[in-house]
A and B are shown apart, each in its own frame.
Chain A
Amino acid sequence: MTDVHTRIDNEVKSNDVVLFMKGTPQFPMCGFSGQVVQILDYLGVPYKGINVLEDQDIRQGIKDYSNWPTIPQLYVKGEFIGGCDITREMFQSGELQQLFATKGIPVRQSA
């Protein structure tokens, strides 16, 4: 395992919900990352945002880690869920809320 792989592994395994994104949850630097932030915020799910623009090793490393060529990338309990399109589709169909419930992650009741 390379060093960056280990760092990513630690992040996704020590945080229930992790979003690798461009920018921060407060200031997304990309529309696709921003959409996922909006969904997570709407659901009231606690998550850790990791800004790949601040770390070139992570920016490339996360693509290799998941075999997924684009950012953002959402992880729940160490499992790769998808990027912006998949997260949005799952949110719209209710599958995302179901996933959080199954994994024991609290979601705002009104959502």
Chain B
Amino acid sequence: MTLKEWIAEQLAVRFQPSVLSVEDESDRHIGHAGWREGGETHFRIDIVSEAFSGKSRVDRHRMVNEALAEAFSRGLHALAISARAPGE
């Protein structure tokens, strides 16, 4: 399983999102800090879930970061996150 697939699975299980996209943007950061051969270091996540209703932006990002905490120790370097509740 690639890290991308792992991230998508974790988020799907944890948040039951109505919208979920996970993009590997690592090749846009070639040569920058954190990049490594083989990519899977920089991801962009777009997620819509009821779980974010009534939560602050910081709380939403923390929820996503916590769900993916293991990935940070596996070499994940940067996450761009858009986390919304339905209707936002």
- CB < 8 Å neighbour of B33 from A30, A82, A85: A30
What interface size band does chain A fall in? 10 to 19
Contact sample, A vs B, 12 pairs, CB 8 Å cutoff? A29-B33, A30-B33, A53-B33, A70-B65, A70-B78, A80-B58, A81-B58, A83-B61, A85-B80, A85-B82, A86-B58, A90-B57
| A32 and B78 form a contact (CB under 8 A) | yes
Instruction: Identify the A interface with B (CB < 8 A).
Output: 22, 29-32, 53, 67-70, 80-86, 89-90
Number of A-B residue pairs at CB separation under 8 A: 36
Chain A min CB distance to B69 (Å): 7
Chain B residues with a Cβ closer than 8 Å to the other chain, count: 15
A80 to B58, CA, bound (A): 9
Query: A residues within 8 A CB of B78?
Result: 32, 70
Instruction: Identify the B interface with A (CB < 8 A).
Output: 29, 32-33, 57-58, 61-62, 65, 69, 72, 78-82
Chain A min CB distance to B26 (Å): 13
| A82 and B62 form a contact (CB under 8 A) | no
| B62 and A67 form a contact (CB under 8 A) | yes
Q: Given A69-B69, A82-B57, A85-B61, is A31 in contact with B32 using a C-beta cutoff of 8 Å?
A: yes
Chain B min CB distance to A23 (Å): 9
